[in-house]
């Protein structure tokens, strides 16, 4: 045994020495510059937790509880670090780490005593940038932000998210260029449910998009289009059910609230095709006057009418820049559901809207704030609403201190007759919803506003530049909500069991947060 071990060592020794010699040999390589940048955010927030409900239909107190389990007061911090490995102007690689958000005091968020939380370090982006030799064709591959343009809201109402894919940009000249992408939001996530032989069966989701930016002197115009192809199980998790975000309406295929067939079954189709198209632009030739507009249309065809969805959204913004600030007025309109849940939804379908960029029209009503503050309290997007707003941005009276004030009016465009179906009351359609919910049970993605419901929002955002790389950001927001609590809309009702369920007791929502942001 000793001799066998001895021979083995004698055999391995020259191999190890050879590897060491190779590693120690001088090697030539192209120079690579490493660049790092990042942002630290520490935020302190106090408010109603993103919850309009005072008491639910069962009489349970809901004050002080938010949709994500927040308290009225929250302290959080997050770090994002981006590392670029740059070989040349034609080749680089990027990895973008995110640590947090860490909620102070919460063990599962890394903020409890000892600070030993797990699963808080994430890869936000990881991609390769390269330019085809002797051309200006630029390609980005990997985890990246992929989005559609909107010059009014500054955030797409259809698709704006981090995801895996390939994007290509081809500038033809100073006026016209072409951008295209392929994204793979979901694939190989379904465990087959009760049939292990069908693991990963038809669970893909592909998105193909193209934009055509046109730039003229004082005028920009960008038409765009996107095609989606989705398999039978694309939006199912390992338990064989829809992802929670899909159920809440962020992913437009859920139809929210008309996501279920008349027989109560969901996702009964085997293949879905979705198309979106839009046109957005801005006019700046009369600077300092600026006019921006956007139009979006989307359609989802599942092969089953009750699960189909098609709708549109349009917005217009006019603003004038003075030395002291930029006042503006804007408005939008988005189609809403009719009074028949059996014919699908008439709301604009979306995949992930307002997610990775900041909506320029609101702080908390829709998703999109890039700080750690609460958002999306009315909805993830403007789908199913219309509204008007006034904004004064970047006005200042003190050096290094700037403010943005906005005032918005919202009203739903969904038929009030849909309220009975959404809240779970018996309706003339004899439909059973698997997850009957109160309209403001504040699932993760906001309210379902009918044409009888209104909201008013006022928000003030102020930032003070403490140092060149450090700023203090303070946001204060208030949203008043007026709902139709008549028996035919959101009022009390007798359910299928004969029990009487009260109307939700609602209240206005307010929120204040203070953030210290170090960016380098």
Cβ atoms of residues 349 and 274 within 8 Å: yes
**Side-chain half-sphere of 393: how many Cα atoms within 13 Å?**
13
Q: In CATH, what class is 49-73+133-519?
A: mainly beta
In the chain, domain spans: 49-73+133-519
**Side-chain half-sphere of 11: how many Cα atoms within 13 Å?**
6
Q: What is the pLDDT of residue 108?
A: 76
Token pair recorded at residue 462: 């102020």
Q: What pTM was estimated for this model as a whole? A: 0.86
Report phi then psi at 359, rounded to 5.
-65, 130
Strands (E), 358-448: 385-398, 401-412
Cβ atoms of residues 443 and 67 within 8 Å: yes
Q: What is the pLDDT of residue 64?
A: 59
- How do the pLDDT tens digits run along the chain, 520 residues long? 334 434 333 434 444 444 344 444 444 446 899 999 999 999 999 987 667 877 777 777 766 555 666 788 999 999 999 999 999 999 999 999 999 888 898 887 778 888 766 667 889 999 999 999 999 999 999 999 999 999 999 889 999 889 999 999 999 999 999 999 999 988 887 777 777 777 888 888 899 999 999 999 999 999 999 999 988 777 665 443 433 333 333 333 443 333 334 344 444 446 788 999 999 999 999 999 999 999 999 998 877 777 788 999 999 999 999 999 999 999 999 999 888 877 878 989 888 777 666 667 888 888 766 678 888 888 878 989 999 999 999 999 999 999 999 999 999 999 998 887 777 776 665 554 433 344 444 444 568 889 999 999 999 999 999 999 999 999 999 999 999 988 888 888 887 777 888 787 788 889 999 999 999 9
Q: What is the pLDDT of residue 430?
A: 54
The per-residue DSSP string of 51-105 comes to --EEE-TT--B-TT--TTS--SEEEEEEEEEEEEEEEETTEEEEEEEEEEEEETT
Cβ atoms of residues 464 and 471 within 8 Å: yes
Alpha carbon distance 190, 198 (integer Å): 9
Alpha carbon distance 345, 259 (integer Å): 8
Q: What is the pLDDT of residue 26?
A: 47
Rg of the chain on CA atoms, in Å = 26
Q: What is the pLDDT of residue 237?
A: 54
Q: What is the pLDDT of residue 248?
A: 36
Alpha carbon distance 143, 128 (integer Å): 9
Closest to 470 measured CA to CA, from 427, 518, 411, 428 = 518
Q: What is the pLDDT of residue 30?
A: 60
Q: What is the pLDDT of residue 358?
A: 63
Q: What is the pLDDT of residue 14?
A: 46
Q: What is the pLDDT of residue 266?
A: 47
- The helices-and-strands tally (H runs, E runs) of the chain is 3, 23
Residue 295 burial by Cβ neighbours in a 10 Å radius (0-12, 13-18, 19+): middle
Alpha carbon distance 239, 253 (integer Å): 19
Token pair recorded at residue 181: 């992408």
Closest to 272 measured CA to CA, from 237, 225, 227, 311 = 227
């Amino acid at each position: 045994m000793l001799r066998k071990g001895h021979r083995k060592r004698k055999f391995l020794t020259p191999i190890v020495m050879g590897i060491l010699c190779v590693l120690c040999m001088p090697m030539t390589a192209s120079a690579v510059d490493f660049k790092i940048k990042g942002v630290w955010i520490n935020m302190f927030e106090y408010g109603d937790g993103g919850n309009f409900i005072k008491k639910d239909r069962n009489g349970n107190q809901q004050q002080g509880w938010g949709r994500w389990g927040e308290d009225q007061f929250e302290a959080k911090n997050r770090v994002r670090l981006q590392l670029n490995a740059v070989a040349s102007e034609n080749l680089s690689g990027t990895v973008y780490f995110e640590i947090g958000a860490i909620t102070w005091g919460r063990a599962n968020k890394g903020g409890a005593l000892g600070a030993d939380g797990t699963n808080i370090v994430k890869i936000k982006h990881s991609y390769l940038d390269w330019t085809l030799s002797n051309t200006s064709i630029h390609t980005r591959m990997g985890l990246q932000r992929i989005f559609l343009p909107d010059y009014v809201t500054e955030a797409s109402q259809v698709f704006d998210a981090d995801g895996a894919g390939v994007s290509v940009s081809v500038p033809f000249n100073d006026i016209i260029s072409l951008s295209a992408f392929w994204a793979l939001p979901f694939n190989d996530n379904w465990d087959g449910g009760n049939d292990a032989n069908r693991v990963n069966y038809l669970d893909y989701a592909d998105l193909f998009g193209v934009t055509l930016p046109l730039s003229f002197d004082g005028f920009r115009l960008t038409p765009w289009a996107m095609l989606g192809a989705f398999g039978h199980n694309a939006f199912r998790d390992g338990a064989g059910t829809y992802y929670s975000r899909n159920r809440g309406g962020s992913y437009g295929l859920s139809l929210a609230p008309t996501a279920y067939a008349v027989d109560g079954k969901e996702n009964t189709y085997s293949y879905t095709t979705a198309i979106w198209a839009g046109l957005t632009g801005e006019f700046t030739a009369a600077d300092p006057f600026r006019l921006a507009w956007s139009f979006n249309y989307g359609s989802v065809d599942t092969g089953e009418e009750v699960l189909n969805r098609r709708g549109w959204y349009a917005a217009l913004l006019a603003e004038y820049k003075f030395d002291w600030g930029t006042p503006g007025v804007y408005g939008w309109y988005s189609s809403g559901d009719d009074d028949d849940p059996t014919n699908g939804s008439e709301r604009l379908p979306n995949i992930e809207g307002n997610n990775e960029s900041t909506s320029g029209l609101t702080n908390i009503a829709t998703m999109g704030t890039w700080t750690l503050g609460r958002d999306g309290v009315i909805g993830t997007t403007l789908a199913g609403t219309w509204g008007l707003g006034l904004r004064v941005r970047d006005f200042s009276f003190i050096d290094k201190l700037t403010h943005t004030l906005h005032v918005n009016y919202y009203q739903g465009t969904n038929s009030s007759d849909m309220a009975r179906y959404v809240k779970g009351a018996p309706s003339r359609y004899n439909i059973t919803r698997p997850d009957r919910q109160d309209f403001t049970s504040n699932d993760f993605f906001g309210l379902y506003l009918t044409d009888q419901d209104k909201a008013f929002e006022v928000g003030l955002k102020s930032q003070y530049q403490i140092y060149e790389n450090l700023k203090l950001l303070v946001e204060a927001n208030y949203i008043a909500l007026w709902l139709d609590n008549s028996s035919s809309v959101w009022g009390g009702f007798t359910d299928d069991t004969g029990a009487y369920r009260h109307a939700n007791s609602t209240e206005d929502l307010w929120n204040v947060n203070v953030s210290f942001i170090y960016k380098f």
